[in-house]
Structure 1
Amino acid sequence: MTEQSAPGTDRLSSVATAARILREFGKHSTQLGVSQLARRVGVNKSTTHRIIWTLVDEGLLERVEETGLFRLTTTMRSLGASAETAQRLHEAATTPLDELRRYTAGTLHVAILDGTDVLYVERREGPGAIPVFRSVGSRNAAHATSTGKVLLAFLPAERQARLVEGMRLSPKTSRTITSRPEFLAELQRVRRQGYAENRGESEPGMCSVAAPIRDPLGQVVASVSVAEQVESVDAGLRHLVAPIVETAARISSGLGWNR
């Protein structure tokens, strides 16, 4: 018999209280005070005060000078927004991705931009899974993928310039674009044509094509792509451009975009 404690017997009450405090900010209350939080979580004010300021020190809460109340930091709000976006994408993408199977047996992905990486939040694996794209939650360098090109191409100009300037355009293969001016020209081309291609730039013998997914305001929030191993990377996956663009439009419609 092991000496591990049963679940819940060794929980730290201060950590549990901190978690309850953070959850209160997700109940449609953007700013809260110490007294309010103490009443809501059922802990005395002095304990609540200490925990709140610990959360401030850790960068999870911040004090609003104008009101004297507390709110989630930008980092915490972004985490919540990312989780909500991933859930909405899952719901909107499920049927369109399944129907894309009529056109390809390749590996399908939905991804979002996370810094200078793409983060895969949805996946449909084909018969020959692409080893460089292992699972939901995995990442890849944005500059070497069709998905990354799409997500960067549709950014506001200032943010795009700032991100590209800070990127390391490391070669994944001999075909990876490593010149900054050439990469910026590629992003302009992607934005004009409405889709991106990757021809052996991230993995030898692998091609992909991607298209933008838009939110109700028309902003690009994600990208859908298909990747396949091919005999000739020069040919790419041009035959899948129309299906992938249509799939992206259908997912966008599911998010509320009226095309």
Structure 2
Amino acid sequence: MGSDSMDAVVRRRAKDVSGGKTRLSSVATAIRLLKAFSGDETEIGVSALSQRLGIAKSTVHRLAVTLVSEGLLEQNPETERYRLGVGLFGLGALVRQRMNLSTEARPFLFGLREQTNETVLLAIPSQTEIMTIHNLESRQAIRMRSDIGVLQPAYCTAPGRAIMAFQPAEVVDDILDQSLRQRTPKTVTDPARLRKILDQVQRQGYAIDDEESEAGMRCIAAPVRDASGRVVGAVGVAGPVQRLSLKALSAFVGPLSETTEAISVRLGYHPRSGF
């Protein structure tokens, strides 16, 4: 490679790095802009934001327009000042929901582990997948492990199915329209069969994963509802097939259902009235 072409590569790489830094800087500035608002100052104009953030008015205007388009900012048509948008309220509500669920569920999860002596986990929906936010491992030597924060498929896990079965049709369609991976020899990937499984979960109120997500492991899970009756998560009990036959797994239906109902009640759900 000649010196001219080598110089061109160096300049191009420098430009790419510079562009990346610019984008990151814009994101950081947008975050600073959002944090400029407070309870004492709910509306701020472009000039004030420019002075406070130490950036040009044109930059403030460009960022504000982008944030407005995403619903994170709103502009008062009378004063032309900006205020936080309802999009942020929605995001905050999701965080609060998750934290409330995690906090309220915790003591009941410990109780369920004492009853079953198996691994107990709490999962929440994350678009077309689920995320484990609590994992209380069994004290037995051979046990199921599920790392907190890791995303897993919804279609082949018991907690995922317990959540999926009660989601709107379009959400289920989005999941089943994807390319479903065969994770183990027992994984069901046929959309028609999965829909029948979800129908059964709706009828019986719990879901089972028979070595479909991880070979050698079984899990049973039931949904958790919030005050509006919406399914916001699922509690699962999992363990190795050597210890958990399908009959043994079905024996957990009672304590599992009692646990998820107790958590749901803590979140404001009234099961007898259905709301």
Give me the TM-score of the superposition, normalised by structure 2: 0.74
SS at match of 2:186: coil
Q: Note if contact 2:117-2:138 (Cα within 8 Å) is conserved in structure 1.
A: yes
Query: Within 5 A, what are the aligned runs for 1:92-241?
Result: 92-127=104-139, 128-131=142-145, 133=146, 135-160=147-172, 162-231=173-242, 233-235=245-247, 237-241=249-253
* Structure index of larger Rg: 2
Residue equivalent to 2:59: 50
Alpha-carbon distance, 1:167 to partner: 2.5
Question: In proportion to residue count, which structure has more helix?
Answer: 2
Q: Which consecutive residues of structure 1, in runs of 5 or more, have no partner in the other structure? A: 1-11
What SS class does the counterpart of residue 252 from structure 2 fall into?
helix
**For residues 1-56 of structure 1, what are the alpha-carbon distances to aligned partners after superposition, in whole Å with 9 as ceiling and x for unaligned?**
xxxxxxxxxxx998776434323568599x84535973xx9717964662463365
Per-residue CA deviation, residues 134-169 of structure 1 (Å, 9 max, x unaligned), is x21111111110011011100122332x32342222
Q: Which moved more, 1:17-26 or 1:118-127?
A: 17-26
Aligned-partner SS, 1:136: coil
Q: Cα RMSD (Å) of the superposition?
A: 3.4
- What's 1:7 paired with? none
Q: 1:62 to 1:250 in 2, by over 3 A?
A: closer
AA in 2 matched with 1:50: T
TM-score by length of 1: 0.78
**Percentage of identical aligned residues:** 29
Question: Aligned-pair distance for 1:209?
Answer: 0.7
Moved more, 162-171 or 13-22: 13-22
Q: For 2:130 and 2:205, how far apart are their aligned partners in 1?
A: 18
Q: What's the secondary structure of 1:244's corresponding residue?
A: helix
How many residues are aligned here? 241
Amino acid at match of 1:166: D
1:13-52 matched pairs, under 5 angstroms: 18-23=30-35, 32-34=43-45, 38=49, 43=52, 47=56, 50-51=59-60
- 8 Å CA contact 1:119–1:139 kept in 2: the answer is yes
Output the CA distance in 1 between the equivalents of 2:40 and 2:95.
Answer: 16
In 2: Cα distance, 1:186 partner to 1:218 partner: 22
Unaligned runs of 5+ in 2: 1-23
